[in-house]
């Protein structure tokens, strides 16, 4: 009964409340990793307490507003430029959905541009592709496009990986590049059979 009105009213204004409300910021350091439902329950219980207790802490909270905003954007909007540019570590992990061209022709595997820019050293010419489930490692050549320095892709080695693991259209590769970027760990998520 009481949860629905709170969820509805906060759900309509979540960005405004999280980004601009000083009363709520005390507790968002811990809440960034929790679900939105937890935030809403905490907000309902603690708004009244914060008004009475800690008016002087508002200045300290303002220092954390930017961090809270970036974390919020990172969680709620994966395409946000603010979160991307200010958190280059997130470019170590990316997903590739196998297309028909990738599965059946000699199409290369492109790195996301931001991964090329933030993760791979400019002169790196190869990476070891490791299948997470089997531990099998295949050395792959990294090629840089002549038209754009952050357009980089895998050539030799990728074809062997693709054929050896019998990748099909719709399969998803969950890729995670280690730091330093010697290995790219790949978890293959198979497409549902028709």
pLDDT at 56: 45
What pLDDT, on a 0 to 100 scale, did the predictor assign at position 37? 47
pLDDT tens digits, the chain, 194 residues: what are they?
Answer: 444 444 444 444 434 433 333 444 444 444 444 444 444 444 444 444 444 444 444 444 444 444 443 333 334 344 434 444 556 667 889 999 999 999 999 999 999 999 999 999 999 999 999 999 999 999 999 999 999 989 999 999 999 999 999 999 999 999 999 999 999 999 999 998 76
Structure tokens belonging to residue 191: 């497409």
Domain count, the chain: 2
Instruction: Answer yes or no: is 45 within a domain.
Output: yes
Claim to verify: residue 65 and residue 110 sit in the same structural domain: no
Burial (Cβ within 10 Å: 0-12, 13-18, ≥19) of residue 43: buried
Omega before 106 within 30 of 0, i.e. cis: no
Question: Residue 190 CB: number of other CB atoms within 10 A?
Answer: 13
Domain boundary among 86, 110, 142: 86
Out of 61, 86, 111, a domain closes at 86
Residues 112 and 124 reside in one and the same domain: yes
**Given 86, 112, 135, which residue is the final one in a domain?**
86
pLDDT of the residue at 28: 44
- The residue length of the chain stands at 194
Identify whether residues 118 and 169 lie together within a single domain: yes
Query: DSSP secondary-structure letter at 151?
Result: -
Q: For residue 116, how many other CB atoms are within 10 A of its CB?
A: 22
- Is residue 60 within 8 Å of residue 68, measured between CB atoms? no
């Amino acid at each position: 009964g009481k949860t629905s009105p709170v969820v509805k009213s906060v759900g309509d204004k979540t960005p405004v409340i999280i980004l601009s409300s000083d009363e709520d910021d005390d507790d968002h350091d811990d809440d960034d990793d929790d679900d939105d439902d937890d935030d809403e329950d905490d907000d309902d219980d603690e708004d009244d307490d914060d008004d009475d207790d800690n008016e002087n802490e508002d200045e300290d909270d303002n220092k954390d507003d930017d961090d809270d905003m970036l974390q919020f954007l990172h969680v709620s909007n994966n395409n946000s430029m603010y979160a991307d540019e200010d958190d280059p570590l997130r470019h170590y992990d990316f997903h590739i959905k196998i297309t028909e061209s990738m599965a059946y022709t000699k199409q290369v595997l492109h790195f996301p541009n931001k991964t090329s820019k933030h993760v791979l050293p400019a002169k790196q010419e190869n990476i070891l592709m490791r299948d997470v489930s089997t531990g099998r490692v295949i050395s792959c050549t990294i090629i840089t496009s002549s038209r754009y320095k952050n357009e980089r892709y895998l050539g030799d080695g990728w074809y062997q990986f693709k054929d050896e693991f019998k990748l099909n259209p719709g399969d998803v590769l969950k890729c995670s590049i280690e730091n330093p970027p010697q290995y790219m760990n790949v978890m293959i998520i198979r497409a549902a059979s028709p």
